[in-house]
């Protein structure tokens, strides 16, 4: 099924009552782990790339590998640029072949967020790509963006923003957080329900790491079509390395180390795919 446009993945998810996991990959190992586990479970999947990962590897090199990996996959795979605050860098990634992007100007004045997002939406359409937009402030640290105080998405501005920009997916701030939760998150399910009922495009949940299965189920039931998972992937990758090296202190075999770490990453991907209900949902 291969490399796909994000809009179809999410419209299928919204109609089918499940969510597609967007896993923040950091290298070829984590990308392969996500695709291989998705293929094994017959699930669509989104390979999500942070700006720091793109810059670390190089945009041309990264998309070349990810696109080839996606095109060979037996399940639908989208590649998404996450939380980019620079419109020109978003355009560069679209030119190189990303199938989906997110211009994050949620911290900018509303009118600038609206106008710049509209510009990216129009440009993305020319590339057969999609655009995700965000309103409100999602607390925590995500890549180069640090937010210390949350602010829920305003419903009136949300409706205006979606209507005027024509974005393909909308990420409203509803009380989730980037990174690890310190205590129980205060999620505004009523706000999410209202937005889901009145906004035509699929909704996205940021800050998926650490939410309980029942919280995921409730959000999916209310219409979440894309759920972002970043910190959990990083933890499985780094903790896997620590565990293997602790258990094999005298071994110096990178291939065995990679194999073990990949198994831990795959387990993380599988756990979330099953919680999101996307297993067995792969469509052409």
Distance, in Å, from the CA atom of 160 to the CA atom of 154, rounded to the nearest integer, reads: 10
- First-to-last alpha carbon distance for the chain, in angstroms, is 5
Determine contact, residues 106/77, Cβ cutoff 8 Å: no
Find, among 178, 43, 45, the residue nearest to 100 by Cα.
Answer: 45
Number of neighbours of residue 15 by Cβ within 10 angstroms: 10
Find, among 199, 173, 195, the residue nearest to 186 by Cα.
Answer: 173
Distance, in Å, from the CA atom of 161 to the CA atom of 111, rounded to the nearest integer, reads: 9
Q: Is 82 a catalytic residue?
A: yes
Alpha helices in the chain, H assignment, sequence order: 6-16, 28-40, 51-57, 59-71, 87-96, 110-126, 155-165, 189-198, 213-221, 231-247, 254-276
Show the tokens assigned to 178: 């980037």
Over the range 136-167, which residues count as b (16 or more CB within 10 Å of their CB) and which as e?
Answer: bbbbbebbebebeebebbbeeebbebbeebeb
**Active-site annotation holder among 82, 104, 143, 168:** 82
Determine contact, residues 131/120, Cβ cutoff 8 Å: yes
Find, among 255, 280, 260, the residue nearest to 270 by Cα.
Answer: 280
Residues labelled as active-site residues: 82
């Amino acid at each position: 099924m291969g490399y796909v446009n994000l809009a179809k993945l999410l419209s299928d998810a919204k109609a089918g009552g499940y969510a597609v996991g967007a896993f923040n990959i950091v290298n070829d190992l984590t990308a392969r782990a996500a695709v291989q586990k998705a293929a094994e479970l017959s699930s669509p999947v989104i390979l999500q790339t942070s700006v720091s990962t793109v810059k670390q590897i190089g945009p041309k090199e990264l998309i070349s590998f990810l696109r080839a990996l996606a095109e060979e996959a037996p399940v639908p795979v989208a590649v998404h640029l996450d939380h980019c605050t620079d419109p020109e860098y978003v355009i560069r990634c679209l030119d190189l072949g990303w199938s989906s992007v997110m211009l994050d100007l949620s911290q900018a004045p509303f009118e600038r967020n609206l106008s710049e997002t509209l510009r990216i939406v129009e440009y993305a359409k020319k590339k057969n790509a999609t655009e995700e937009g965000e309103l409100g402030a999602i607390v925590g640290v995500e890549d180069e963006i640090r937010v210390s105080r949350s602010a829920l998405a305003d419903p009136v501005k949300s409706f205006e923003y979606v209507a005027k920009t024509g974005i393909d997916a909308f990420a409203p701030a509803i009380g989730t957080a980037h990174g690890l939760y310190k205590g129980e998150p205060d999620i505004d399910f009523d706000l999410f329900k209202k937005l889901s009922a009145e906004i035509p495009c699929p909704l996205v949940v940021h800050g998926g790491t650490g939410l309980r299965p029942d919280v995921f189920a409730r959000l999916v039931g209310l219409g979440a079509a894309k759920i972002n998972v970043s910190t959990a992937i990083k933890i499985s990758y780094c903790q896997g390395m620590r565990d293997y090296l602790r258990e094999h202190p005298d071994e110096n075999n990178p291939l065995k180390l990679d194999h073990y770490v990949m198994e831990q990453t795959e387990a993380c991907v599988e756990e979330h795919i099953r919680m999101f209900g996307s297993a067995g949902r792969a469509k052409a």
